[in-house]
């Protein structure tokens, strides 16, 4: 049985049906990357329900979105990463790695290292160009029988357009999660 109680206590926009979907997927995958971790609400749902390793990829500087700018206004540099780190306290050593940087830089690093993942979850910027770039960049790093997925399908036009164009045979789970098994 999955557990999202710690995730529910963390600030964020992801609702319980999507947290539960992530937790259920995490329970069956062992090499997971999450792009766009923010305060760590979804990260916590993933890491608390896998026996494997999770890589959280984010700049921890927010996206070019009004909601992010409002929350980060007046906060000191590194504040958001500090909040994320606090929300990840108590995890076993070696279960979570933070890649602090751009998504495309992370894909270059892991491609160079020969690393693949059995689950990729995309929830960073929500405009068409960034979502499409993330799908294109991460898809080659998914192991056979792995899954690529993301958040905000049907609620952000850029996400919906990119997913519909690049992964026309995707499925929808939870409330706003899109996914495709490869």
Reported as a single tens digit per residue, the pLDDT across 99-108 is 999 999 999 9
CB distance 3 to 23 below 8 Å: yes
Residue-level pLDDT at 163:
98
Residue-level pLDDT at 73:
87
DSSP assignment string, 50-109:
-SSEEEEEE-SS--SSHHHHHHHTTPPTTHHHHHHHHHTTTPPTTSEEEEES-HHHHHHH
pLDDT, tens digit (0-9, with 9 covering 90-100), for 132-143: 999 999 999 999
pTM of the model: 0.95
* Residues 10-38 as b or e (16 or more Cβ within 10 Å = b): bebebeeebbbbbbbbbbebebbbbbbbb
Q: What is the CATH number of domain 5-181?
A: 3.40.50.150
The list of the chain residues with pLDDT below 70 reads: none
Residue-level pLDDT at 68:
78
SS3 171: strand
Residue-level pLDDT at 47:
98
Listed by start position, the domains of the chain span 5-181
């Amino acid at each position: 049985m999955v557990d999202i109680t710690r995730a529910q206590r963390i600030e964020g926009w992801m609702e319980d049906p999507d947290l539960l979907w992530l937790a259920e997927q995490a329970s069956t995958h062992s090499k997971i990357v999450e792009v766009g971790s923010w305060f760590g609400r979804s990260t916590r749902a993933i890491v608390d329900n896998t026996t494997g390793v999770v890589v959280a990829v984010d700049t921890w500087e927010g996206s070019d979105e009004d909601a992010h700018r409002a929350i980060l206004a007046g906060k000191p540099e590194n504040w958001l990463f500090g909040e994320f780190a606090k929300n990840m306290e108590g995890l076993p050593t070696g279960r979570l790695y933070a890649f602090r940087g751009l998504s495309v830089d992370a894909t270059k690093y892991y491609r160079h290292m020969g690393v693949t993942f059995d689950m990729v979850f995309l929830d960073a910027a929500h405009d068409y160009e960034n979502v499409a770039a993330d799908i294109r960049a991460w898809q080659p790093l998914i192991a056979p029988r792995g899954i690529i997925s993301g958040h905000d399908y049907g609620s952000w036009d850029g996400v919906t357009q990119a997913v519909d164009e690049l992964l026309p045979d995707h499925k929808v789970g939870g409330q706003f999660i899109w996914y495709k098994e490869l």
